[in-house]
Amino acid sequence: MATSSEGDRPWQSYNTAYTNAKAGMDGVDKEKVQRVVYEMSKGSKYFENEQRKEAFIKQKIENLRVQVDLLTDKDISHFQMIANKRIIELEASRDLSKIWLHVDMDAFYAAVETLENPSLRGRPMAVGGLSMISTANYEARKFGVRAGMPGFIACKLCQDLIFVPTNFEKYTFYSELTRKVFRRYDPDFFATSLDEAYLNITEVCISSDEVASELRNAIFEETGLTCSAGVAPNRMLAKVCSDLNKPNGQFILPNDKDAIITFISSLPIRKIGGIGKVTEHILRDALGINTCEDMLQKSAFLCALFSSCSSDFFFSVGLGLGRTDTPERKMRKSISSERTFRATKDEAFLFHKLGDIAETLSIDMQKECLSGRTLTLKLKTASFEIRTRAVSLQTFIHTKEDILKYASRILKAELPISLRLIGLRMSQFRDDKNSNLDPMQKTIVCFLSGECDSPSARSLQKQDCVNSDKLEIQECLDFMEGNSMQDLELDFPASDDHTIERHCDKFCFSEYHHSVSNSVAERRELNDSCVDEFRSNESLQPNEGTHSVESSKHMKEVSLRWIDDYICSVCGIELPVSFIEERLEHLDYHFAQRLEEEESSQRRIHLAPVERCSPKASHARQAPRKKQKCSSKELNHIPIESFFSKFKKNS
Ligand code: DCP
Ligand code: CA
Ligand code: CA
């Protein structure tokens, strides 16, 4: 993010989701992409929010550095001993008996569109619209155009970019065809999105290399589409491998410990599902961890600074361990509802909203015959800071009255506060056999080995879960950024009493300086909850409830939500449920857009009448039209641009 020391190239440190490389983007001029994204978004609400997030991470890194400096040689050797012991235990859980294949379609939506319209072949194209892109083909990626990027920024990067609107039915149709093929190799395969799946091919009687080629050929014959595959002894590595030779390629990692260690030694940590921008940044800048192997080199520090749950996860990454079992079909883990409105401190209004949300949640729960015992309140403050608070109850609840009773207590503790969003989530359902004792919630060892009943695992459960702070578990969840949610379905642990968990609290930060003299355990707790605070964005999934924007009299009532769980009600873009971060970013984006529009319309009221009557200005407020191709001239007229334009000129 821009600081004065970065002089005339502030974009160099502007790292948004748009500037991160995907497959096919290796040769891209990253600085150019950063500059374009920076220039087009500077001054916008989105930009301000990115700045706030970046400042948070910087502060977090600074704090960690201070903690590292405080560690004496004696501390370090103490933690090294603990870390070594843990690494040996994790190593003992290594399972090389299974062979997993991960398959992922190449530029999926774009490839389907090209199949149906061959004139698109070889030309840079993106699926989506000027507000947002679902994906781009490999020709467009050379320009830095990628999924999740606003289309008007993509146009700036690639003048000849062709846009094709999304058509989810088509993608579902082709997805079904691919699944027919997967079933032949593993009837129990499990798909993690429309375009990817894990297959257990342990029993298939040909070499992994042959299975992967045969499967890819079969998919091509069935669909006319190419895909990439990775084969490895566990799912975490299989997914990493499927991305290595994209597009239309494969990579086989043999079931051999030395091969895995060599493979993992130079692998950047960001390649691992579960390590996203924030974790990467923090580990790199605070501890100098870049590769998976560095996780083992710095194990004493990881052990000293993070909870056992997090350090276990980091060590397992360093060892190249991952899950080898076939997960059971997933049950719903939580249900939520949230509302966005103009930022306000008005307590009567906030409690009224809370009542509405509790009612919606209760109705939704009753429709699905659910009754839960963990209630989470999510708040977004006027400055876009996200906070979550959870309460675990002894009884299962589902009525509006019960939900509101506990939710009100939690909200009361936060007052006074200016909010722009309130959300409620219920989890730990009555019939969820995991609600009390979910083995997945217990230890990474269990998660890796699936042997939760072994004596050693049991003692670890005791140590790591029963006696540990709940933040550890929450933090594990937080490390599961995006796709890896499937790998580690963690949820809030059961609690014995009505405890309010401060999953993310500003006091973590403000009190940090007092805490340096505290015990290491307390310090680790602060680290966990600080990371947690930032990540709490992910804790309420927007797909699960309605996200409606309450608007002022200057704006029409607009409902921001995911229709049928994947279609954005505002721009029509389709975002799979597993794209948690992208979905939150997407909703924030629209919300910021609304705010800007609202501000500008208020401004217009105070400005000269000629401006209000300007045909350009009125056009700018219309809904975006579907276009096959855009030119930079047309871009001046799209409403989305008003979101990123600075209001200081407001011409
Ligand atoms: N998708 C989306 N929004 C995103 C990312 C993806 O709508 N932010 C959709 C469009 C993609 C599909 O999901 O085609 C699969 O996503 P992938 O991440 O697998 O990306 P692609 O298949 O497009 O490209 P590749 O896997 O070749 O990198
Ligand atoms: Ca894909
Ligand atoms: Ca995919």
Q: Is the CB of 104 under 6 A from ligand 1?
A: yes
| Cβ neighbours of residue 621 closer than 8 Å, sequence gap 6 or more | 597, 601, 639
Q: Mutate which of 134, 168, 178, 193 to test ligand 1's pocket (most atoms within 8 Å of Cβ)?
A: 134
What pLDDT does residue 481 have?
Answer: 28
What share of the chain in percent tops pLDDT 70?
65
pLDDT at 35 over 60: yes
Q: Which atom of ligand 1 is nearest to the CA of 573?
A: 7
CA-based Rg of the chain, rounded to a whole angstrom?
A: 25
What is the whole-number distance in angstroms between the Cα of residue 243 and the centre of ligand 2? 9
Q: Is the CB of 575 under 6 A from ligand 1?
A: yes
Tell me the per-residue pLDDT of 50-108, one tens digit each, with 9 for 90 and over. Answer: 788 888 889 989 999 999 999 999 999 999 999 999 999 999 999 999 999 999 999 99
What is the whole-number distance in angstroms between the Cα of residue 300 and the centre of ligand 2? 37
What pLDDT does residue 594 have?
Answer: 67
What is the whole-number distance in angstroms between the Cα of residue 202 and the centre of ligand 3? 23
Mean pLDDT calculated for residue range 319-348: 85
Residue entry with tokens 């910021």: 592
Lowest average pLDDT, out of 126-135, 270-279, 589-598, goes to: 589-598
Tell me the per-residue pLDDT of 424-478, one tens digit each, with 9 for 90 and over. Answer: 999 988 876 444 333 222 223 333 333 323 323 322 222 222 222 222 223 333 3
Q: Is the CB of 241 under 6 A from ligand 1?
A: no
What is the whole-number distance in angstroms between the Cα of residue 107 and the centre of ligand 1? 6
State the chain's mean pLDDT as an integer: 73
- CA nearest to 481, candidates 423, 434, 415, 534: 534
What is the whole-number distance in angstroms between the Cα of residue 581 and the centre of ligand 1? 14
What pLDDT does residue 444 have?
Answer: 30
Q: Is the CB of 23 under 6 A from ligand 1?
A: yes
Distance separating alpha carbons of residues 189 and 201, to the nearest angstrom: 9
Residue 113 designated active-site: no
Q: Are strands 419-429 and 372-381 parallel, antiparallel or unpaired?
A: antiparallel
What is the whole-number distance in angstroms between the Cα of residue 193 and the centre of ligand 3? 7
Tell me the per-residue pLDDT of 189-200, one tens digit each, with 9 for 90 and over. Answer: 998 888 999 999
Q: Which atom of ligand 1 is nearest to the CA of 138?
A: 27
What pLDDT does residue 1 have?
Answer: 43
Name the pLDDT band for 576 (thresholds 50, 70, 90).
low
Q: Mutate which of 139, 142, 195, 277 to test ligand 1's pocket (most atoms within 8 Å of Cβ)?
A: 195
What pLDDT does residue 92 have?
Answer: 97
Residue 100 in contact with residue 198, Cβ under 8 Å?
yes
- Most confident range (mean pLDDT) of 49-53, 176-180, 378-382, 492-496 is 176-180
Tell me the per-residue pLDDT of 222-267, one tens digit each, with 9 for 90 and over. Answer: 999 999 999 999 999 999 999 999 999 999 999 999 999 999 999 9
* Catalytic residue selected from 50, 113, 196, 585: 196
What pLDDT does residue 596 have?
Answer: 61
What pLDDT does residue 417 have?
Answer: 94
Q: Is the CB of 109 under 6 A from ligand 1?
A: yes
Distance separating alpha carbons of residues 441 and 235, to the nearest angstrom: 19
What share of the chain in percent tops pLDDT 90?
43
Give whole-number Cα distances, 43 to 2, 53, 560, in Å: 12, 15, 23
What pLDDT does residue 243 have?
Answer: 95
Q: Is the CB of 338 under 6 A from ligand 1?
A: no
Q: Which atom of ligand 1 is nearest to the CA of 106?
A: 27
Q: Is the CB of 579 under 6 A from ligand 1?
A: yes
- Pick the residue whose CA is nearest to atom 12 on ligand 1: 108
> Which helix (H) or strand (E) element contains residue 126?
strand 125-128
Mean pLDDT calculated for residue range 351-373: 91
Q: Angle CA(58)–CA(60)–CA(66) in degrees, nearest 5? A: 105
Lowest average pLDDT, out of 27-36, 330-339, 474-483, 523-532, goes to: 474-483
Q: Mutate which of 112, 135, 175 to test ligand 1's pocket (most atoms within 8 Å of Cβ)?
A: 135
Q: Is the CB of 53 under 6 A from ligand 1?
A: no
**pTM for this prediction:** 0.62
Q: Is the CB of 544 under 6 A from ligand 1?
A: no
280/572: higher pLDDT: 280
Distance separating alpha carbons of residues 604 and 115, to the nearest angstrom: 47
Instruction: Report the length, in residues, of the chain.
Output: 651
Question: Which ligand is located closest to the Cα atom of residue 579?
Answer: 1
Lowest average pLDDT, out of 274-283, 453-462, 564-573, goes to: 453-462
What is the whole-number distance in angstroms between the Cα of residue 595 and the centre of ligand 3? 33
Question: Which ligand is located closest to the Cα atom of residue 109?
Answer: 1
Distance separating alpha carbons of residues 486 and 579, to the nearest angstrom: 12
Protein residues near ligand 2, an ion, with CB under 5 A? 104-105, 108, 195
Tell me the per-residue pLDDT of 517-538, one tens digit each, with 9 for 90 and over. Answer: 234 554 555 454 433 333 333 3
What pLDDT does residue 400 have?
Answer: 95
- Most confident range (mean pLDDT) of 283-297, 493-507, 546-560, 579-593 is 283-297
Give whole-number Cα distances, 11 to 54, 228, 429, in Å: 13, 33, 46
What pLDDT does residue 17 have?
Answer: 62
Phi, psi of 359 (to 5 degrees): -65, -50
